[in-house]
Amino acid sequence: MTANAQSDIIRFSNVSKRFGTLTVLQDFDFTVAPGEKVSLIGPSGSGKTTVLRILMTLEPFQDGTLELGGIGYHEPGGHGPFKASERHLRQIRTQVGMVFQSFNLFPHMTVLRNVVEAPIAVLGLKREEAECRALDLLGMVGMADKKDHFPSQLSGGQQQRVAIARALAMRPRVLLFDEPTSALDPQLVGEVLGVIRSLASEHDLTMLLVTHEMRFAREVSDRVCFFDKGRIVEQGEPERIFSNPEQARTREFLQSVL
């Protein structure tokens, strides 16, 4: 699937992002089509997570424009680091879900409460409706029988599956994964990848995945983007990128990790 100007759900145009004097993204252009599954791969520190954090409104950016479903992140005349009001950012956030490396579940809440809180507080769902939605999702990730457990009573893989259910409970249009398996013991990686793999078959859900799991990126993505020093050096269908990269930097990187 290729993105085009009419139908892009994500559109970065000339975006620059600096942390103090460190420029992480410079004139960054990147688009994603609705339903597309895109993996971002590349060396540590190249800016992949920053792209996700900007999309999730966890980081402001300095120059350029970013749109989600045609809505700009900056408001005309907007102030503050985000150049937008909190209300505007909240509207954007309801369309994006993020699954973090470290799960980020609320430790004092049960599994079920972790999944129902945001739909009730942010979307205004009635508790009964939110619980019904949560139980469906917990069933999908194989965690319904643990609904009354606390995060500390779960393995890392189980916590991550709950985190995925929690992100999905908001019915986001775009789901971001930031190295979702890198904090897990090797024997727990497969169960989380299995859940993400089945989500990747959902045609409506746009997925952006930062991962060091190259075989997985090859298997689930429509497109793989190789990042280096805040730029996409090369992108294309996984089969081509992994079996026949055109750029020397991509080849070098893949040789170092495969």
- Residue 98: partners with Cβ closer than 8 Å, 6 or more residues away: 52, 56, 167, 175, 176, 177, 178
Question: What are the distances in angstroms from CA 43 to CA 5, 115, 229, 246?
Answer: 29, 33, 8, 17
Using alpha carbons, select from 60, 58, 61 the residue that is nearest to residue 26: 61
Q: Is 21 in the site for ligand ATP (CB under 6 A)?
A: no
CB of 66 or CB of 125, closer to ligand ATP: 66
Q: Is 45 in the site for ligand ATP (CB under 6 A)?
A: yes
- Least Å distance between CB 140 and ligand ATP? 28
Q: Is 49 in the site for ligand ATP (CB under 6 A)?
A: yes
Q: Which of 3, 15, 38, 47 binds ligand ATP (CB under 6 A)?
A: 47
- Least Å distance between CB 116 and ligand ATP? 30
If DSSP codes are grouped into helix, strand and coil, which group holds residue 52? Answer: helix
Q: Is 24 in the site for ligand ATP (CB under 6 A)?
A: yes
Alpha carbon distance 125, 196 (integer Å)? 26
CB of 58 or CB of 121, closer to ligand ATP: 58
Q: Which stretch binds ligand ATP (CB under 6 A): 17-25, 120-128, 145-153, 249-257?
A: 17-25
Question: What are the distances in angstroms from CA 247 to CA 143, 233, 242, 251, 252?
Answer: 43, 8, 11, 6, 9
Q: Is 57 in the site for ligand ATP (CB under 6 A)?
A: no
* Residue 75: DSSP 8-state: P
Q: Is 233 in the site for ligand ATP (CB under 6 A)?
A: no
Q: Given the rule CB under 6 A, which residues bind ligand ATP?
A: 19, 22, 24, 44-50
